[in-house]
Chains A and B, each alone.
Chain A
Amino acid sequence: MKTIIYSITQISNQVNSVLNHNFSNIWIKGQISSFKIYPSGHAYFTLKDSSSQIDCVFFNYTNSDNIFDSTNIEVTAYGDISIYKDKGKFQFIVNNLIRSGESELWFKYIELKNKLTKEGLFDDIHKRSIPEFPENIAIITSNSGSVIKDILTILKRRANYLNIDIYDVLIQGEQSSKEIKQAICDINDFKDVDLIIIARGGGSIEDFQPFNEEITVRAIYSSNIPIIAALGHRTDVTLSDYVADKFVGTPSEAAEICCHSKIDLMEKASNLMFKIDDNVFKIIKNSTSKYENLHLRSISKNPKLYLSNIDSKLDHLVFKLNEGIFSKIFKYNLKLNNLYNVISASNVTNIKRKGFALVRDVKDKIIKSIKTVDKDDVITIELIDGKIESTIKRKIDG
């Protein structure tokens, strides 16, 4: 036989794997001592009985649902055994801690959960769909206390079109599950109800025991009417939650989600009516334009109308033509008038009419400057109505 020599890491790994294989998801009962929470949020403690002890660690203890004053109390811890390799010590990695008084209920809960899971009671295939527009609702709860008051306040505010039957039952204690079952059966047998809500407020695991009992779970499973479980303010999901068609965190939430608010319904109805209006409007519009198209097409196919169309086209052309010619003539006239005005403005006669005169020398040339004439020259002054012959006496510079 070959001798095997392990390294420390090898033997630690192998022992760890043996422990993981054989001691995972186990329950250990004992008394807590040396309980310490580190800043990381992990808790370190020992579990012991009269003669032995085990080191335990609960990772992220401060974020868990298990927080309670844990020193020197009897607990049942759930978790896995493993090796802490740095120290070569074995330890218990705890995932859940239950006080001893509660542990029996826990074991029952786990046992029943496994049994019913195997039977398929929690399978999605059995879930009834929650009606979108329930009008008749049955609420199974205690008629005293704040839970029913909260639910009714919300339902009255949101949806006062609902008819509500309250089945007043005990929601804790030994009788509770029987009453819940009876209420579920009665509603199914005698009432025209669209939806059942089973509600209770928060409490400890013992308080929720009726909702973890087989009789309740099976009654919910057997109901033909959809059931919402609304069991509030707790850390653990009850078996009634699992088997119900829907479960919510609090009774108030059930009241919020179980039906449409009146305002939503009004809006929904208005939207549908708007769609109907819109469709009618669209089809009228489409039909009108279709009719118009047909009308136009029928016109184009009628020979009489076709001819008269041509006539009117011709008329139009002639009119356009005339219009073109006339406007050209008019434009020319205008131009002519303008030219005439310009010409007549520069006409000498017109200037003379205003009192101006033309002065010519003996050769009949127009005198434009005094430099071209001398004293005693003879000049002719032309006015509008005749001429004046004169002699220059003196020149004066202007």
Chain B
Amino acid sequence: MDKNLSIEQIFKRLDEIVSVMENDSTSIDEMVTLYDEGAVLFTQCKKKLLAAESKINVISKKYK
């Protein structure tokens, strides 16, 4: 799994996982795999948010 997924990609994938899981035809094996993936994504998202610190660049010389 790509560790550098953007927050948007993480949420998109989590949404997908939930909707596949909500489908009655999903097998237990698939469920287990999806659960694992969901748990990893969740942790990844949490870490990303907790560790975040805005990087602010000021680009000015060219314009003034």
Within residues 33 to 60 of chain B, which ones have a CB less than 8 A from any CB in chain A? 34-35, 38-39, 42, 45-46, 48-49, 52-60
Known: A161-B49, A167-B63, A168-B59. A276 touches B54 (CB 8 A): no
A196 touches B (CB below 8 Å): no
Known interface pairs A272-B11, A276-B17, A279-B18; A168-B49 also in contact (CB < 8 Å): no
Q: Which residue of A lies closest to B9 (CB)?
A: A133
User: Considering the chains assembled together, what is the distance between the CA atoms of A169 and B8 in angstroms?
Assistant: 30
1/0 contact string of A147-166 vs chain B (CB within 8 Å): 00000100110011111111
Return A130 CB to nearest CB of chain B, in Å: 12
Given contacts A269-B11, A273-B38, A280-B21, contact A169 B52 (CB under 8 A): no
Q: How many residues of B contact A (CB 8 A)?
A: 36
Main SS class of interface, A: helix
Q: Write the nearest CB–CB distance from A113 to chain B, whole angstroms.
A: 27
Interface SS majority for chain B: helix
> Taking the nearest CB of chain B, how far is it from the CB of A28, in angstroms?
42
Among B15, B21, B54, point to the contact of A161 (Cβ < 8 A): B54
Residues of chain B within 8 A of A183, CB atoms compared: 63
Known: A143-B58, A165-B57, A272-B14. A133 touches B38 (CB 8 A): no
Residues of B contacting A152 in the complex (Cβ-Cβ under 8 angstroms): 56
Of the four ranges (under 10, 10 to 19, 20 to 34, 35 or more), the interface on chain A belongs to 35 or more
Residues of A within 8 A of B38 (CB): 272-273, 276
Q: How far is the CA of A283 from the CA of B60 in the complex (A)?
A: 57
The 5 closest A-B pairs by CB, nearest first: A168-B60, A161-B52, A133-B8, A279-B21, A276-B38
Mark B residues whose CB is within 8 Å of A: 6-8, 10-11, 14-15, 17-18, 21-22, 26, 28, 31-32, 34-35, 38-39, 42, 45-46, 48-49, 52-60, 62-64
Chain A interface residues toward B at CB < 8 A: 131-133, 135, 143, 152, 155-156, 159-170, 179, 182-183, 186, 262, 265-266, 268-270, 272-273, 275-277, 279-280, 283-284, 287
